[in-house]
Amino acid sequence: MKQYNIIFFALLFTASSLWAQTKAQADSAYINKDYAQAIEIYESLLQDGESGEIYYNLGNAYFKQDELGRAILNYERALLLQPGNADVSANLDIARAKTIDKVNPNPKVFFVAWTRALINMLPVDTWGGLGVVFFLCSLAALAIYLFTKGVRWRKIGFFTAFISLILCVITNLFAFEQKGKIDHRTDAIVLSPSVTVRSTPNEEGTSLFVIHEGRKVFIKDNSMKDWKEITLEDGKVGWIPVSAIEII
């Protein structure tokens, strides 16, 4: 059994070393302005699993190639895995500023916007880790409440356990929300230079408006294979061909 463990960790170390070496090659290609090569290597790394860092680097490489749609797509993917990352947010804003469409989203209720911003401060793993910490704190405080005799310490234990349990529930809800966004993605980025949004899911539908590369859309109806009903930040609704977008 010990021999199998040694082999497993050796293979794991080898895989990690190869991944790091390959990433270094991509970083070197980027530094040397060989953006096409960097893109190819970063894309190959993502075949082994998602990484916020790789998505960010890939977005930078696409941005240098003036492929705004794919740059924004990968910045969005990086931000999904690393919410609160200031560098990703800044580069995403720069890329969006270069797109044709200027977005005027409908205003959100303050409490909803504030809650969303709070959830997006930390990634899912961090919220989950905090949930575990607060749960352990609640158990420790409960032990103080149950097994100490002093009134003061019992009060401290009770209120600490109560507050820790509330924080445990909140952080786990935040982690669940973040996990849901990653597992069930309904946002997409337009990759075509322009696409006509129609009233029905076919080319004969009435032309409603045109959106351009880099625009973020929210998929409202995902039931059809070749067409998706989408909504925009300003509330507009219509149908576009699935070939014009890619899911974040």
On the question of pLDDT at 162 being above 70, the answer is yes
pTM of the model: 0.82
Mean pLDDT, to the nearest integer, of 121-136?
93
pLDDT at 99 (0 to 100): 93
Query: In this predicted model, what pLDDT tens digit does every residue of 7-43 receive, in sequence order?
Result: 544 444 454 556 577 888 888 899 999 999 999 999 9
pLDDT at 106 (0 to 100): 66
Residue 169's closest CA among 122, 137, 141?
137
The arrangement of secondary structure in 2-97, i.e. its CATH architecture, is Alpha Horseshoe (1.25)
User: Going by DSSP bridges, is the β-strand pair 227-231/245-247 parallel, antiparallel, or unpaired?
Assistant: unpaired
Alpha-carbon distance 136 to 134, whole Å?
Answer: 5
In the chain, how long is the greatest CA-to-CA distance? Answer: 79
Position with higher pLDDT, 56 vs 149: 56
pLDDT at 17 (0 to 100): 58
pLDDT at 8 (0 to 100): 43
| Joined tokens for residue 82 | 């690393």
Query: In this predicted model, what pLDDT tens digit does every residue of 212-244 receive, in sequence order?
Result: 999 999 999 888 889 999 999 888 999 999 999
Q: Which fold has domain 187-247?
A: SH3 type barrels. (2.30.30)
Alpha-carbon distance 54 to 45, whole Å?
Answer: 8
Percentages (nearest 5) of helix, strand, coil residues in the chain:
60, 15, 25
Q: With cut-offs at 50, 70 and 90, classify the pLDDT of residue 94.
A: very high
Query: In this predicted model, what pLDDT tens digit does every residue of 201-214 receive, in sequence order?
Result: 998 889 999 999 99
Domain ranges of the chain: 2-97, 110-183, 187-247
